[in-house]
């Protein structure tokens, strides 16, 4: 069956440019997460969407980062004026609801972003 998909799989950009990363969650999953994994680091929480509720943006590292989720499905993570420290793998995950024993997160393969 269709899992979580992300595009592009790889993105190389120049410092100062804007980038958009896309996530297609599993159909019917109301919860969607974005994480960042920098080299040698764990997964860093960025943002959480749940249904029509206001997103939890507490993990976004700066105001250059923003995310949207349209129609409760597809999400885009936008990074403006990219910096070299933004280079990382950006992972998206979806689940049936927020968290807990029965609401497993399913991850996409990630987008590897390289800022030159």
Partner 1 sequence: DQQVKQNSPSLSVQEGRISILNCDYTNSMFDYFLWYKKYPAEGPTFLISISSIKDKNEDGRFTVFLNKSAKHLSLHIVPSQPGDSAVYFCAALSGTYKYIFGTGTRLKVLA
Burial 29-42 (b: 16+ CB within 10 A, else e): bbbbbbbbeeeeee
CA distances from residue 105 to 17, 25, 51, 96, 116 in whole angstroms, order as listed: 31, 11, 15, 8, 32
| Span near partner 1 by CB under 8 A; candidates 13-21, 48-56, 67-75, 76-84 | 48-56
Shortest distance, position 81 Cβ to partner 1, whole Å: 27
Of 21, 26, 29, 48, the one binding partner 1 by CB under 8 A:
48
The residues of the shown chain that bind partner 1, judged by CB under 8 A, are: 4, 31, 33, 35, 40-45, 48, 50, 56, 91, 93, 98-101, 104-110
């Amino acid at each position: 069956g269709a899992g979580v998909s992300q595009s592009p799989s790889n993105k190389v950009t120049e410092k100062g440019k804007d980038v958009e990363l896309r996530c297609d969650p599993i159909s019917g999953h109301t919860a969607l997460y974005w994480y960042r994994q920098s080299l040698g680091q764990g997964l860093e929480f960025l943002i959480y969407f749940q249904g029509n509720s206001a997103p939890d943006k507490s993990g976004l590292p700066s105001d250059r980062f923003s995310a949207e989720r349209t129609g409760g499905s597809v999400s885009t993570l936008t990074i403006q004026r990219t910096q070299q420290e933004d280079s990382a793998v950006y992972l998206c995950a979806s689940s049936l609801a927020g968290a807990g024993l029965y609401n497993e997160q399913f991850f996409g393969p990630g987008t590897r972003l390289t800022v030159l």
